Amino acid sequence: CIIFTERKDKSQIKKVLITTVPFILISGAYLVLRLTIFNFSAIFSSAGENIFQRTLVFLKLLPEYWKILIAPVGLHYRVVRNIDAGIGNLTVIFSLVILAFIIFSVIRFKGYRKILLFGFGWFFLGIFPASNIVVPINFLIGERWLYFSASGLFITAAFFLDALLQKFSKSE
């Protein structure tokens, strides 16, 4: 960024390159090691074999994330969860209904679409790396990923609370 923002003489460009090249080399070496020697693709993931099954497991565990946000009790790093997640599972259906409600609310509240998209997007993009959907990882539910993504849900909850309060204040 520094190189392209303004005209620099050759000594300044050389100085910037000397300070950034070690970081680029270390990052490249890590990437090569990660893809070859430290290949973690054989890590057992209990989320499932294919992407469809992992998506169903994520949908089953999504209410668990919401429960942790509302009442964070009984948290332990060695919690065994039942991951029987089929398309007919009630928890999966509940998650799909909630996701349909989210889509409906974004469509319904046209004037507030940006804040709703930001809030829900913040939550789902924040929780996505721990979802096991694209890249299987070695844990089913990562409570630590909620710290970042919870603010998105709190933004949308504040919006709905404000809209509800405005509606009741107008009716009086």
> Over the chain (172 residues), what is each successive 10-residue block's mean pLDDT?
57 85 90 74 60 84 86 72 75 90 86 86 88 75 83 88 86 67
DSSP secondary-structure letter at 47?
T
Distance, CA of 107 to CA of 117 (rounded, Å): 10
Give the integer Cα–Cα distance in Å for 164 and 18.
57
The span from the CA of 25 to the CA of 17, in Å, is: 12
- Locate 105 and state its tokens: 């609310």
Distance CA 24, CA 18 (A): 11
Give percent of the chain with pLDDT exceeding 90.
8
Over residues 40-74, the pLDDT tens digits come to: 555 555 656 778 888 888 888 888 888 888 888 87
Closest CA to 152 of 110, 128, 124: 124
What values do phi and psi take at 161, rounded to 5?
Answer: -65, -40
Q: Which of 122, 62, 120, 124 is closest to 95 using CA atoms?
A: 62
What DSSP string describes 11-53? HHHHHHHHHHHHHHHHHHHHHHHHHTTT--TTS--TT-SSHHH
Q: What global pTM score does this model have? A: 0.64
